[in-house]
Structure 1
Amino acid sequence: MRIPRFFEPCELHTGQTYSLSDATTQHVSRVLRMKAGDNITLFNGYGSEFLCTLERVDKRHVDVTVISEHSQSRTSPLQIHIGQAISRGERMDYAIQKATELGMHCMTPLFTERCEVRLNNDRQDKRTKHWQQVAISACEQSLRNELPVIAPIQPLQQWLDNTEADLKLVLHHHTEQPLEELERPTSIALLIGPEGGLSEAEVEIALAAGFKPVAFGPRVMRTETAPVAAQAILQYLWGDLS
Structure 2
Amino acid sequence: MRRFYAPSENFNESKITLSVEESRHLRDVLRLRSSENVQAFDGEGREFFCEIEKLEKKGTVLRIIKKIAPTAPESGLDLTLVVALLKGEKFDLVVQKAVELGVTKLVPLNTKRADAKSKDSEKKLERWRKIIIDASKQSGRATLMQIEMPVDFKEFINSASKIFGDANLLLFAERNGSGFSGVKTNKKVVAIIGSEGGWDDAEIEFARDKNFQIITLKGRILRAETAAISIATILQHRFGDIS
TM-score in same-fold range (> 0.5): yes
Q: Relative to structure 1, is the Cα distance of residues 75 and 51 closer, same or farther in structure 2, using a 3 angstrom cutoff?
A: same
Which residue matches 2:201? 200
Write the distance in 1 (CA, Å) between the matches of 2:8 and 2:122.
23
Letter in 2 for 1:171: F
**Cα distance in 2 between the residues matched to 1:69 and 1:38:** 17
Code of the residue aligned with 2:26 in structure 1: it is: V
Rounded to whole Å, the distance in 1 between the matches of 2:3 and 2:40 is 6
Aligned to 1:46: 44
Deviation at 1:101, TM superposition (A): 0.8
Distance in 1 between residues matched to 2:64 and 2:218, nearest whole Å = 48
Letter in 2 for 1:89: G
Measure the CA separation in 2 of the matches of 1:100 and 1:216.
23
- Does 2:151 match 1:154? yes
Task: Report whether the alignment pairs 1:170 with 2:167.
Answer: no
Map 1:92-241 to 2 at 5 A. 92-120=91-119, 123-163=120-160, 164=164, 165-175=166-176, 177-241=178-242
Deviation at 1:34, TM superposition (A): 1.0
Distance in 1, matches of 2:17 and 2:104, equals: 30
For 2:56 and 2:169, the matched residues in 1 are separated by 50
Distance in 1 of aligned mates of 2:92 and 2:239: 26
Specify the alignment match of 2:34 in structure 1.
36
SS of the residue corresponding to residue 224 of structure 1 reads: helix
**Gap regions ≥5 residues in structure 2:** none
Counterpart residue identity of residue 75, structure 1: E
Q: Residue 60 of structure 1: CA displacement?
A: 4.7
Q: Distance in 2 between matches of 1:82 and 1:155?
A: 15
* Contact kept in structure 1, 2:45 and 2:142, CA below 8 Å: yes
8 A contact 1:30–1:59 mirrored in 2 = no
Q: Is the 8 A contact 1:216 1:229 kept in 2?
A: no
TM-score by length of structure 1 reads: 0.91
Corresponding residue to 1:5 among 3, 6, 9? 3
Taking only the aligned residue pairs, the percentage that are identical comes to 28
Gaps of 5+ in 1: none
Distance between the aligned counterparts of 1:182 and 1:194, measured in 2? 22
* CA distance, structure 1, for counterparts of residue 182 and residue 117 of structure 2: 39
The DSSP-based 3-state class of the residue aligned with 2:65 is strand
